[in-house]
A and B are shown apart, each in its own frame.
Chain A
Amino acid sequence: MLNFEIVTRTDFSDVTYLLEIRHPLMAKAARPGQFVIVMEHEHGERIPLTIADFDRDKGTVTLVIQAVGKTTREMQQNCQVGTHLHAMVGPMGVPSHIGQARKVVCVGGGLGVAPIFPQARAYKESGAYVIGVLGFRNKSLMFWDDKFRACCDELIVCTDDGSAGIQGLVTEGIRQAIARHPDIDEVVAIGPPIMMKGCAEATRAHGIKTMVSLNPVMVDGTGMCGGCRVKIGEQIKFACVDGPDFDGHQVDFDDLMARLGRYKPTEKAALESWKESCRIRGGAGH
């Protein structure tokens, strides 16, 4: 039986946290680029999270989560070592294609740094020359740079304010990498849609193949609702079963970003109502 026990928790910052969850079968099956859907409790919603790492020996799967709304904040508060998730299903999506590329740039922006890690490692294991480009708003939000150093031939850390690495967006890191290495075969980018759009634009003129991992709204994650549909060229694809990886030069990012905004008002209402209930419960306790 599956029980989804949380065996490790690490806080990277006051908004970013890591959960390592026991699920031996999934640890065995998971491949880079795949994701899970979790429900924290019975009244919860189903949220997609990319698999940031997996340990087949320990039988665990690692998720890195940013507290942005009701569910992720509530999980930040409640998901402690020894507690259990109500549901976790996966691995979902088509695994990233680790092809024959000999020189690869792996770009992670913010929380996207976590899911790009298994890909960087897989490329390294396939014998490619791997350049990591990690972007954070500032040094205090930085995490896993040591993990990347261990599997990358070069690592470029970018911060918006220059408090670590070079100052600038990840696109600046990509520009520097391309300037140094004219023979880059492929760029893989994971992060906020606006960042992935920027990466796709940065490589388009150079004709470098660029794969991105899309993050639309999802419900079931198994291809039965189409909530995650995205425009790829002229076609409609479901990110949960046809993706989540797509050719960045084909993706309609504006459409993706507009669709991501659909539930903003209800998301805000959910967060407000939760904060209110926390305040009342917290107050009663004192």
Chain B
Amino acid sequence: MKTLEIPTFECETGNYHTFCPISCVAWLYQKIEDSSFLVVGTKTRGYFLQNAPGVMIFAEPRYAMAESEEGDISAQLNDQKELERIRLQIRDDRNPSVIIWIGTCTTEIIKMDLEGIAPKLEKQLGIPIVVARANGLDHAFTQGEDTALAATTHRCPEYNPRMTTRREGYEDKLVVVDIDQSNEFIEEKGKLNRCGSVLFGSLPASVASQPNLESKRQSVSVSGWLPSQKYSELPALGEGVYVCGVNPFLSRTATTSMRRRKCQLVGAPFPIGPDGTRAWIEKICSVFDVKPDGLEERENQIWKILSDYLEVVAGKSVFFMGDNLLEISIARFLIRCGMVVYEVGIPYMDRRYQAAELLLLQHTCKKMKKPMPRIVEKPDNYSQVQRMHELQPDLAITGMAHANPLEARDIDTKWSVEFTFAQIHGFVNARDALELVTRPLRRRSDSNLGCRSLSKQAVDI
């Protein structure tokens, strides 16, 4: 790709705002229905969970804090005994099939041996305990899910090509084929079925069924998802299984499934936007030696449906402050929609895991004749606000800490966390993704109060 503009990566101070990675429990507990999450740490983390994921806490969630007290820190209390007591309490309260311990900064600093304690307690009580060290020392926001899934990867059953388990009668329906011992084992014919294909990344059930459907259309069947709806239904992994990520922040999970479970990673762009979804399916098809069928028409059809939104965004400029690692994929989609992206801030950039996505970004820039955005790893929010003041983008995609102040300074913003919770994957949800992006832009043309800037402060942060 000599002709293309090579992306330049910059790295700033890392003084940026993002959510603590333990926030992943807020969506993972809903995804894995029979799980219970225990965040081991101090009040600081508990207060974060209570305030940031908002009112979800009132719905009697299956997550709780094991709040460290002074005695725990100074090792006056025995970690193992304390955790055992709490785990019994959780078992009695919720009876989960798996308990997932989320280690935090506190457990890192005092070097609490969660990985060592877990197997002991697991043996005693018979409930699996998965340990994920999702702490703010090493990770940002969505990477929490990555650590949790990477830890779960070890718990997936071993894949056996001869014993591909299928739920009887489900073959031609659009369901994820589950591993379920109680069902008859059916040996299947054909080359495809000798290899399993497992997708990883936590998507809501309704969204997850769509990639299944799309790949089914190309006669590639998805043999499982990580995570599954239930812990007891985790997909089989092993040699001969192809794995493919649906989200850009899952590099650790990808590495673990490759190195520890000997799976083959399909490096594809991510199924965000019709262009991404098409490239994603094409890549999977190519692995299975299937000629994709009707994908181009499908993509064009989706672009046609988006035409009213495309009018709104065409030529508008975007600035990603960066906090959830979805930035590259969304930027690529928006450039394809005709927007100009000034800067893509991103907490962490795994150039190998995201290689295909970066390449697609380059191609998209060339195709749309748009400049390649600058990619800023570990951004510095203060400098970014200064840059934004000069560039005056039409839209800033940013965290809640900056959204209201930027709005007051006449820069339209979209709250970035919404992209992690909204359904943006696959062909069908492309409209939802654009709906999010255009909302502030559409609101602008509607309102005519005549107030441009609503802050008395100058540029200052």
Q: Do A and B come from one complex?
A: no
